[in-house]
Amino acid sequence: MKIRFKLFLIVTALLATPAFAQNLDSLQAVLRNTTGDSTRFALMIDLSKKYQYKNFANAKQYSEQALALAENKNWPWAKVIAYSQVGFLATLSGDYTSAIKFDNQNLQLVIAQRDSASIAETLNFLGNDYSDLGKYDEAYYYFTQSYRVARAINDSLKMTVAIYNIGTVLTELGQYDLALDHFSVATRISEAINDIDGLPYNQDAVGDVFLRKKDFSKAEDNLIKALKNTKTRKLTVLEPRVLKHLARLYFETKQFDKALASYDSAAKIYKSNSNQFGVAEVNLGISEILIEQDRFDEAQKKIEASLATAQTFNADKMSIDCYKLLSSLAERKEDFVDALDYHKKYKQLEDSLFSRDMVEKIFQDQLRFKTETKDFEIATLSKASSDQQQEIQREEFIRNILVVVVALTAILLFSVYRSGQRRIQINKLLMEHQEEIKRRKDELEQLNQVKDKFFSIISHDLRSPMNALSGILNLMEGDNITREEFSTLTKELRSQFNHTRTLINNLLDWALLQMDKLKIQPEKIELSALVGENFNLLASMHLKDMQLINKVPANTFGLGDLNMLNLILRNLIVNAIKFSKAGGNIEISATEKEGWITMAVRDFGVGIHPEVQKILFEKTMGYSTRGTANEKGTGLGLILCKEFVEKNGGTIWLESEPGKGSTFYFTLPKA
C-alpha cells in the first residue's frame, strides 16, 4: 500500500503541473522541450488519455512510448500506469488477447506491491477481457476474485462493479432472473454510494436481459434511459454497447431502418477507436437484417469478415454467432449441405464453450458467492442508512438554527419592506404629480400654439370682409357704382359674410369648449331628420347649387348632443361643398353595428393627398386650402369636429383619393 501511495503522490504532482491544463498542441510542445524522464512519462500518458477518443493511433503511440520508457527505467510505479493504459486501449480496439497480456503483467506488479485496490481493479479488467472473448468460466473466476479482494479492503465501488460484471456472465449463460437479481443489488448500492456512472451500465444490462426474454417494452424503456444517461455522462466506452442492444431490439420488432441507424452509430464509434472486434460485432448484426431483406450475398460477405476477425482474436463467442448465422443463411439459400456443416461447427464450438462441467462449476461457486453478496448488500445499505440518519439529525439541527435566523430576518425584512413601501408610495405620488404637471404644460403649450394660430386667422379673415364692406359703402355713398356692379359685389359680399359667420360660430364654439363651458346633453336624435334639416338650411344659401342626397335610413336613432351634432354635420357638409365642383353631389349615409352608428359624409370632389390627410385633425396645424370656387378656409372646422365627436364618445376619420373625392366618417352611440 505504501508503494501505491507513493505512486499516487508522484502522478498527482505531475498532473497538477501547468502543462496539463493546456491543450494538445501545447502539451506536445512541452513534451518536445522536456528532458526530465518522469515528466516526459506523465506527459505521454496524459496525451494518450486525451487522444483515446479523438485519434486512436496517436493515443496508442503515446501509450507505447510511455511503456517503453517505464520498462527502460524499470520504474514499477510507471509500469503499472503504462500497462493499465495500454491494456485499456487494447480493450477499446477489441484486441482482447493483447489486453489479457498487459492486464496479466499489470496484475503481477500490483500483487508484488501488495496494492489491494489495484489488484481488485486489474482482476476486474481481466474478467472483462475473457468475457468479451466468450471465456465465461475464466471471466467468472476473475470477477469473483475481484469481489473478494475489494470486500477485504471494504471498497464498495469495486465490489459493486464486480457484482454487475457477474450479472453479465449470468446473462450470457441464460440465467436471466439470477442476473436481474445481481443488477438490482448493483443498482441499489450504486445509488447508496452515489455511483452515478454505474447507473447507465445497470440500465443497459437490465435492458439486455429483458430483450433476451422478449419483453420488448421493458427492454426499450431501460435502453433508452441508458443511452440518455450515457451521453449525459459522456461514457464513450458504454455508448456503442447500448446502441447495439437498441439495434437488436429494433431488429426483433421488425424496425429495420431504426436498427440499421443504431448499428451505424455504434460502428462510427468503433471505427474512431480502430476497434475491429466491435466493427465485426456490428457487421454480424447488420448481416441479420440483410438476410431478412433477402440480400444474401451482402450478408455472406459481412459474416465471413466477422468470422475472420473472431478467429484472429480467438473470440469463441463471436465465432459461434458467425457459424450460427452462416447456417441460417445457407438454409435460406436452400444450400442444405453447407447449412448442416455450419450447424455442426456452431454446436461443436458451443458445447466446448458452454460445457456442462464449466456451467456446473460456475453455479456451485455462485451459491457460495450469493451469500457473500447478500452480506455485503446488507452491510452497505445499513451503513448508508446510518449515514442517512446522521445526515438527517445534522440537517434538523441546522434547520432549527435556520428557523431562528429566518424569523429574525423576516422581522427585519418586514420593517424594511414597510419603510420601502412608504417610500414607493411617496415616490409614486411625486411621479404622478410630475406627470400631471408635464401633461398640463404640454396642453398649455399646445393651446398657446392654437391660440396664436386662431388670432392669425381672426386678424386676417375678419379684416378682409370688413374692409370689403367698408369699400362698397364708400362707393355707394359717392354714387360711384352701378346697379349691375352692386349686384355682383353683393354676391361676393354674401360669400365673404357666410365665411365670416361660419368662422365666428366656430371660434365661439371652440372658445366655449376650451373653457369647459359647453355642457354635453345627450338625447335621442332621429338622424335622418337631422341631416334633412341641415341640408335645407345649407340649400337655402345656394352654395354652388349642389345636389344634397340624404341616404340615412328613417328611424335611425343616435344618442348625442344635438348642438354638437349639428355643428359636426354643418362643418363636414360645408367642407364637402367647398371642395366639390358646382352642380355636384353630396351624400350622407349611416350604418349600424354592435351598438354604434357610423355616419359618412361623401363628396365627389378634388380629394385630399395622403400627406395632408395625416395632419387635418391636428390642433397645432390648422391646415386649410382654397376650394374649387376659390373659397377660403381656416382649418378650424375639422378640429372642432374631432373634439365634438370625441366629447360624444365617438371617433372620426376619413378616406380620400385625389381626383375622386373624400368620405368623412364619425361614430356615435346608438340610442
DSSP string for 183-227: HHHHHHHHHHTT-TTHHHHHHHHHHHHHHHTT-HHHHHHHHHHHH
Pair type for strands 596-603 and 661-669: antiparallel
646-651 mean pLDDT: 90
389 lies in a domain?
no
**Residue 386 to residue 301: CA distance in whole angstroms:** 59
315 and 421 belong to one structural domain? no
Contact (Cβ atoms closer than 8 angstroms) between residue 183 and residue 175: no
82 and 213 belong to one structural domain? no
Q: How many CB atoms lie within 10 A of CB 379?
A: 14
Residues sharing a CB contact under 8 Å with residue 283, sequence separation 6 or more, in sequence order: 267, 302, 303, 305, 306
Residues sharing a CB contact under 8 Å with residue 90, sequence separation 6 or more, in sequence order: 96, 98, 99, 102
329 and 202 belong to one structural domain? no
Q: Please identify, among 249, 267, 285, the residue that sits at the C-terminal boundary of a domain.
A: 267
AA letter at 582? A
508-544 b/e with 16+ CB inside 10 Å = b?
ebbeebeeeebeeebeebebbebbeebbeebeeeebb
554-564 mean pLDDT: 90
638 and 660 belong to one structural domain? yes
The phi-psi region of residue 147 (left if phi > 0; otherwise alpha if psi is between -120 and 50; otherwise beta) is alpha
524 and 664 belong to one structural domain? yes
508 and 528 belong to one structural domain? no
| Burial class of residue 412 in the structure, from the number of CB atoms within 10 Å of its CB (0-12 exposed, 13-18 middle, 19+ buried) | exposed
86: number of CA atoms within 13 Å, CB side? 25
Contact (Cβ atoms closer than 8 angstroms) between residue 601 and residue 667: no
Residues counted in the chain: 671
Phi, psi of 548 (to 5 degrees): -95, 110
Residue with more model confidence, 146 or 377: 146
Residues sharing a CB contact under 8 Å with residue 177, sequence separation 6 or more, in sequence order: none
149 lies in a domain?
no
374 lies in a domain?
no
Query: pTM for the complete prediction?
Result: 0.49
Give tens-digit pLDDT for 217-273.
999 999 999 999 999 988 888 999 999 999 999 999 999 999 999 999 999 988 887
323 and 335 belong to one structural domain? yes
228 lies in a domain?
yes
Q: How many CB atoms lie within 10 A of CB 555?
A: 9
190 lies in a domain?
no
Instruction: Write the CATH number for 211.
Output: 1.25.40
523-533 mean pLDDT: 92
Q: Among all chains, which residue has been given the C-alpha cell 524522464? A: 37
Q: Please check the confidence at residue 199 and state whether its pLDDT lies above 50.
A: yes
Q: What is the pLDDT of residue 436?
A: 81
**Residue 479 to residue 284: CA distance in whole angstroms:** 128
Domain range for 347 is 275-353
The CA-based dihedral angle spanning residues 617, 619, 621, 626, taken in that order and rounded to the nearest 10 degrees: 60
Contact (Cβ atoms closer than 8 angstroms) between residue 549 and residue 576: no
Instruction: Write the CATH number for 279.
Output: 1.25.40.10
165-197 b/e with 16+ CB inside 10 Å = b?
bbbbbbbbbebbebbbbbbebbbbbbebbebee
Mean pLDDT of the chain: 80
Q: Please identify, among 353, 385, 414, the residue that sits at the C-terminal boundary of a domain.
A: 353
236-267 b/e with 16+ CB inside 10 Å = b?
eebbbbbbbbbbbbbbeeeebeebbebbebbb
Q: What is the pLDDT of residue 496?
A: 62
**Residue 610 to residue 658: CA distance in whole angstroms:** 8
527 and 656 belong to one structural domain? yes
Q: What is the pLDDT of residue 3?
A: 36
C-alpha cell, 537: 338650411
Task: Identify the three-state secondary structure at position 598.
Answer: strand
Q: Please check the confidence at residue 619 and state whether its pLDDT lies above 70.
A: no
Residue 529 — very low, low, confident or very high, per pLDDT cuts 50/70/90? very high
AA letter at 457? I
Q: Please check the confidence at residue 278 and state whether its pLDDT lies above 80.
A: yes
Residue percentage of the chain with pLDDT more than 70: 77
Residues sharing a CB contact under 8 Å with residue 521, sequence separation 6 or more, in sequence order: 561, 562
Q: Which sign, positive or negative, has the C-alpha torsion 51, 55, 60, 62?
A: negative
**Residue 188 to residue 380: CA distance in whole angstroms:** 10
526 and 654 belong to one structural domain? yes
412 and 455 belong to one structural domain? yes
Instruction: Write the CATH number for 535.
Output: 3.30.565.10
Q: Please check the confidence at residue 446 and state whether its pLDDT lies above 90.
A: no
525 and 656 belong to one structural domain? yes
Q: What is the pLDDT of residue 524?
A: 93
378 lies in a domain?
no
**Residue 395 to residue 495: CA distance in whole angstroms:** 97
550: β partners: 588
Q: Please check the confidence at residue 609 and state whether its pLDDT lies above 50.
A: yes
Residue with more model confidence, 424 or 251: 251
Residue percentage of the chain with pLDDT more than 90: 24
593-604 mean pLDDT: 93
Among 188, 185, 181, 187, CA closest to 204: 187
Structural domain count, the chain? 5
508 and 534 belong to one structural domain? no
DSSP characters for 621-668? Answer: T------TT-----SHHHHHHHHHHHHTT--EEEEEETTTEEEEEEEE
Contact (Cβ atoms closer than 8 angstroms) between residue 172 and residue 353: no
Residue with more model confidence, 635 or 670: 670
**Residue 662 to residue 104: CA distance in whole angstroms:** 101
Q: Among all chains, which residue has been given the C-alpha cell 492486464? A: 103
348 lies in a domain?
yes
| Burial class of residue 356 in the structure, from the number of CB atoms within 10 Å of its CB (0-12 exposed, 13-18 middle, 19+ buried) | exposed
Q: Please check the confidence at residue 518 and state whether its pLDDT lies above 70.
A: no
107 lies in a domain?
no
Residue with more model confidence, 619 or 275: 275
